[in-house]
Amino acid sequence: ELQRENARVESQMIKLKSDISAMENHLGHGEKETQALTQRTNNLNEYYESLRNNVITLLEHVRLPGGATAPEKIGQENFDSYLSKLQTLCTPEGYCSDENRPLYETVKCALQDFTVLPTPI
């Protein structure tokens, strides 16, 4: 009887070791995937920052019709509102609006030569 119990416990130990090994392998794969996703996220954030800075630089040189002689300084803190305004201009309602047409045409003209270089992400 003792031998049977020992064999049963030994069998359970072997199964537990196998399960632990499988869990460790699974955890290792999860950590590698997490590292890859973290790196991809960092690359995307850096790419976005680069695009944002390029667009801000381009917009600093655009003279808007009816605008003040000294244009408002565009910074990262208000970039999102500028981006939102540009998106509004490009929607079907905003695109044809007589009020926004000069602004749209000016920005379109200023950005037409802007090329985005392919960046591996």
Rounded to whole angstroms, the Cα distance separating 30 from 64 reads 51
What is the SS3 assignment for 95? helix
- pLDDT score at 81: 73
Q: Return the ∠ at Cα 12 (arms to 11 and 13), rounded to 5°.
A: 90
pLDDT tens, per residue, the chain with 121 residues: 999 999 999 999 999 999 999 999 999 999 999 999 999 999 998 998 888 888 778 877 777 666 655 556 667 767 777 667 766 666 655 555 677 677 767 777 776 666 655 555 4
- H helix or E strand, kind and range, residue 63: none
Instruction: Collect contacts of 104-112 with beta carbons under 8 A, ≥24 apart.
Output: 106/62, 106/63, 106/64, 106/65, 107/59, 107/62, 110/58, 110/59, 110/61, 110/62, 111/58
Residues 89 and 100 sit within 8 Å (Cβ to Cβ): yes
- pLDDT score at 7: 96
Burial level of 57, CB count in 10 A (0-12/13-18/19+)?
exposed
